[in-house]
A = this chain, B = another copy of it.
């Protein structure tokens, strides 16, 4: 049985066909987050702290750490990213106890992350590109860690799933040459946006099945890519994740947190409410307002995707007796802690 073991100093996360889905929190990543990038350049780690705590509370079992910020003061990531990677990892490790995923395209940052991370982090990532193979696989071997393998190579990302399978196979074979076992390769078969490629879902489900059956590897993906450009992205993601899990996908790099209701949305809703002639008490706090008006919360919470994943864990027999499901539905925002099992349910046939 394929088991990919990822460890912090005190906690273990296992990816496997008979394990609950591994949720790798993607939030600690300044790519495309200008505000976070500016904070990091100024030495302000408050957002990173919040993101670490919120993701673990929402149910992430591994946290991805990406320090890919381009400083205004120094545009060379080879100089800035390694020390920042080290700094963020040390900070996050002081705050939460889940295993980490060291995520970079900068060689020095990968090595800095591997040195700083306690336990056995996941490395993110190698591709089928020659240069990356030669650079990353020795690190994987040297530090004895598992690695995410993305199915593109020097020719780019193929739209043909058979080509992507062959790239994954090549990476597994090259890793074997380095003495790295297949169970330490976590293949990302690449999820295309369904709005641009109608077969994107079917491709991934078929690829995951083949990767599992023919290569015996665990798999991961950037789950939210599938819904890019379409309305109600959560609605698509919430169906995609259970379907991918049914096909055998064992992890995803994703945001487990429903973003808190911000000041703008609060103000809009209050204006709408008052326009209808409703009078609010002057001392009503924002959180009470949100809850009464079905707005969500001013605090981060577990996102709907986490409900879909927990239901699919139950349906793939990776939540014995439904203990996690029952606990999650009592207290969805304290999903990070461990919980006991209790048997529920009965039996019924439709009439």
- The residues of A with any CB-CB pair to B shorter than 8 Å are 26, 29, 31-32, 66, 68, 157, 190, 192-196, 198-202, 205, 222, 224-226, 228-232, 235-236, 238-240, 242-243, 245-247, 253, 272-273, 276-281, 284, 288, 292-295, 307-308, 310-312, 314-317, 320-322, 325-326, 329-330, 343-351
Contacts and interface: CB of A to CB of B under 8 A. Distances in A.
Contact of A253 (B68, B226, B350): B350
A223 to B, nearest CB: 9
Contact of A235 (B26, B31, B329, B351): B329
B307 A235 contact: yes
Given A238-B308, A281-B278, A193 B315 contact: no
Contacts of A157: 349
A26 B351 CA distance: 10
A309 B351 CA distance: 23
Contact of A315 (B201, B292, B312, B349): B201
Contact of A231 (B201, B202, B344): B344
Contacts of A281: 276-278
B322 A230 contact: yes
